[in-house]
Structure 1
Amino acid sequence: MIKLRIMGIAYKGTIKIILVVFALFSTFNAVSQNSIEVIYLDILKDPSADGGATHAFNSKLLSNGKHSAFFHKSIDTMLLGTQSGVTEFPEGTKYHLRYLKDLDKNIIKYKKRSGKTISSIIDTVSFDFQFGKNKKTILGYECKQAVISWRGRYLELYYAPELNYSDGPFKFLGLPGLILLVEDPQGMVSMRAKSINKNYTGKIPTSLEKFQNPISYSEFVRKYDKFRVDLVNKMGAETPGTTFSLPYKEIEIIHPDHIE
């Protein structure tokens, strides 16, 4: 006779032992989460003369609810800005890894260039979400509204509670459901989900190549701002009477005035 005591309850017999083990295994499987793959269309059209930028690309999010990776791929398109004119984007051949997220710690790792220097950055993000009343249906999912004022932009986010991933495009995370749309009222930023694969079985990257001597986001912003100022002054000195501007108004506005 075999006895097994679990949480103070005595079970007799091999059949009951098997049933208890099976029940524990089934419970574990019930709470485990599949990985998910989401394709977004991302458009930034902020062509202002004062540091505006224009981008258009497809992006891909791979997430298991704990960790995620975010990729970019350029698309074959043209954007017309009132001041920047026509910007052309040729089709990319593959997705390139841009960001790694630790969803439990709100930590994002990535690399970004300032001039000839590429910085490795560890960004600990925080979002003060306010929940709105608006709803949208995106890819068949009813999405609820949240709004934030973050790093120089006012943004509306729509998340699907039915998709239990506290994740989203770019650096966005922390809502009670997968973020399927990020946009601003002026139409400068749009990140909209195009497709969802809820049964992704591939690998999710956990490291970035040559990620060395990382700095904080605030350190990078100050470094990038100095690079911009120095370069604009240099160009102005070489060509007197000409005004130069370098982009810093991206999805987040990379400027010392917009550091949390």
Structure 2
Amino acid sequence: MINKSVLLFLFLSLTTFSQNNFDFVKINYKSFLLDEREEYGCFLYEETTLVTSNLKSFYYEKARDTIIQTMSMGEMDNTSATYNFTYFKDFEKKQVYLNRDYGLKKIIIDSTNNIKWEITKNRKKVMGYSCQEAKGVFRGRNYKAYFLKDIPISNGPFKFDGLPGIILKVQSDDGSVNIEAYEIEYNKDVKFNFSNPFEGKDTATWYEFKEFYKRRLEKVKNYNPEDGMSFSIPIGYIEKFVDE
């Protein structure tokens, strides 16, 4: 049973959200990907942070410590992973820049608002907030997203955006992907520098990246080392890089 002080806190939080015009909000998420149904499988366990206004945003990914046992890939040890990746969205230009290049060594430029959402009447509690459900298809998977209209910023974690409120939770219908907020901060008085950190860097389009990854995948598949070892890479992670 929820006590009165918790209910009062949630009510005051929602009231505060609805009464403020946001310069930006900061949301921390836990992001989990485990797909063992692909030929080679993929795994990610991350701490991610979204800092966003209505015009621009940053999304940061870093690995979280964990060791899990999977059915097809055996033990997955994330304890020594030290990567940090950045996604920068510019909604005026309808572009997202990312330095997670999977070996291309260029900044990849993709487009925003890639998902055609269908908003449903279903709702789900996320962090105590009543969020509305939307369904959409994004690069190989069907998703449900849960957004909060009280924060009127049309953005969310990773490349999920385009809804009339901030997205606090995303989950794929196949159970492989789950991204869920656990902390929200906002301050309309503090200014945040939303300058593009990748300006002037060597870039590639999303199509060019897909062509590169396809060639890399074929090279790995056809590689036969003398000692009989095998190598593999997945066809994608949260999003599929290679069309099936």
Relative to structure 1, is the Cα distance of residues 61 and 102 closer, same or farther in structure 2, using a 3 angstrom cutoff? same
Relative to structure 1, is the Cα distance of residues 211 and 128 closer, same or farther in structure 2, using a 3 angstrom cutoff? same
The residue aligned with 1:179 is 167
Q: After TM superposition, list the pairs within 5 Å mapping 1:88-237 onto structure 2.
A: 88-90=77-79, 96-115=84-103, 117-125=104-112, 126-199=114-187, 201=190, 203-208=192-197, 212-233=201-222, 235-236=223-224
User: Secondary structure of 1:190's match?
Assistant: strand
Relative to structure 1, is the Cα distance of residues 133 and 239 closer, same or farther in structure 2, using a 3 angstrom cutoff? farther
2:141–2:173 contact (8 Å) kept in structure 1: no
Alpha-carbon distance in structure 1 between the residues aligned to 2:179 and 2:230? 32
Shift of 1:194: 0.7
Alpha-carbon distance in structure 2 between the residues aligned to 1:218 and 1:127? 17
User: Secondary structure of 1:44's match?
Assistant: strand
- Number of equivalent positions: 224
Give the one of 16, 20, 28 matched to 1:39: 28
1:120–1:211 contact (8 Å) kept in structure 2: no
Alpha-carbon deviations, 1:47-74, whole Å to 9, x = none? 3451321010110000122100000122
Alpha-carbon distance in structure 1 between the residues aligned to 2:120 and 2:178? 18
1:103–1:166 contact (8 Å) kept in structure 2: no
Alpha-carbon distance in structure 2 between the residues aligned to 1:118 and 1:107? 19
2:56–2:194 contact (8 Å) kept in structure 1: no
Shift of 1:219: 1.4
1:69–1:97 contact (8 Å) kept in structure 2: no
Unaligned runs of 5+ in 2: 1-18
Q: Could you tell me the TM-score, scaled by structure 1's length?
A: 0.77
Shift of 1:207: 2.7
Shift of 1:135: 0.6
The answer to whether residue 41 in structure 2 is matched with residue 52 in structure 1 is: yes
Relative to structure 1, is the Cα distance of residues 230 and 42 closer, same or farther in structure 2, using a 3 angstrom cutoff? same
Alpha-carbon distance in structure 2 between the residues aligned to 1:63 and 1:49? 33
The residue identity in structure 1 corresponding to 2:192 is K
Computing the radius of gyration from Cα coordinates, the structure with the larger value is: 1
The answer to whether residue 235 in structure 2 is matched with residue 248 in structure 1 is: yes
Q: Could you tell me the TM-score, scaled by structure 2's length?
A: 0.82
Shift of 1:195: 0.4
Alpha-carbon deviations, 1:7-38, whole Å to 9, x = none? xxxxxxxxxxxxxxxxxxxxxxx995321100
Shift of 1:209: 5.2
Alpha-carbon deviations, 1:116-175, whole Å to 9, x = none? x31211101321111222211112221111111110011111101111110100011110
Shift of 1:210: 7.9
Shift of 1:182: 0.5
Relative to structure 1, is the Cα distance of residues 242 and 87 closer, same or farther in structure 2, using a 3 angstrom cutoff? closer
The residue identity in structure 1 corresponding to 2:97 is K
2:139–2:240 contact (8 Å) kept in structure 1: yes
Relative to structure 1, is the Cα distance of residues 226 and 205 closer, same or farther in structure 2, using a 3 angstrom cutoff? same
Alpha-carbon distance in structure 1 between the residues aligned to 2:173 and 2:74? 22
- Aligned residues: CA RMSD: 2.5
Identify, as 1 or 2, the structure richer in strand: 1
Shift of 1:244: 3.9
Alpha-carbon deviations, 1:177-214, whole Å to 9, x = none? 00000001221000000100022736344233586232
Relative to structure 1, is the Cα distance of residues 49 and 178 closer, same or farther in structure 2, using a 3 angstrom cutoff? closer
Shift of 1:112: 3.0
Give the one of 52, 64, 80 matched to 1:63: 52
